[in-house]
Amino acid sequence: MSSIAARTYLTPEEYIAAERKATRKSEYLSGEIVAMSGASNEHNLITVNTLTVLYNQLADRGCRVYASDMRVGIGAGVSYFYPDVSVVCDRPRFEDDALDILTNPQVIIEVLSDSTESYDRGEKFAHYRQLESLQEYILISQDRVRVEHYLRQGKQWLLSEFSALEDVLPLISISAELPLNQIYRFVELEMAS
């Protein structure tokens, strides 16, 4: 999902109360509200394709695969984000009884856009790394075949890159895989000549 520059400051409680009534999503970054804009055709296709591939592999094992409407909370009110896809194979934990703020995703996937790429790679990833449960972080380009996979190894994050439609990304923490030809199904990409 793309972010818009409109920013406002609220307490975590004010943000959650407003967000639960809102018709448009906003993320919360240490007191700062980051309004979200709509996504492109490619972004939507990649998100649905990725979610579907994971759901088909994981549902029978009791794993939950969440779409971009599931908020992820970090640090008890420090930050809240809407990842494009998040996965939890343990019992899901939520911040409160509303069950709309997941606190223990094992895998988070973001589809990159021009307006969010540096945010998703930088500040957002820095916050996601604070989640003890998070084992894998995936960034998917929407304008070319490119998937970046960050795997937690103790206190370090190991990066692997995939750039061919024949590639298959192994998701070690949840025993699943993402074939790039499935991620990019129906997505029209410009091919290098």
Q: What angle do CA 31, 120, 92 make, to 5 degrees?
A: 75
Given a contact cutoff of 8 angstroms between Cβ atoms, the answer to whether 110 and 124 are in contact is yes
CATH superfamily for 40-71+81-183 is tt1808, chain A (3.90.1570.10)
What ranges do the domains of the chain cover?
40-71+81-183
* pTM for the predicted model, two decimal places: 0.90
pLDDT tens digits along 140-153: 999 999 999 999 99
Given a contact cutoff of 8 angstroms between Cβ atoms, the answer to whether 123 and 81 are in contact is no
Given a contact cutoff of 8 angstroms between Cβ atoms, the answer to whether 171 and 191 are in contact is no
What is the Cα–Cα distance from 63 to 122, expressed in whole angstroms?
Answer: 28
Residue 67, pLDDT score? 95
Cα Dmax for the chain: 53
Given a contact cutoff of 8 angstroms between Cβ atoms, the answer to whether 48 and 187 are in contact is no
Mean pLDDT for all residues in the chain: 91
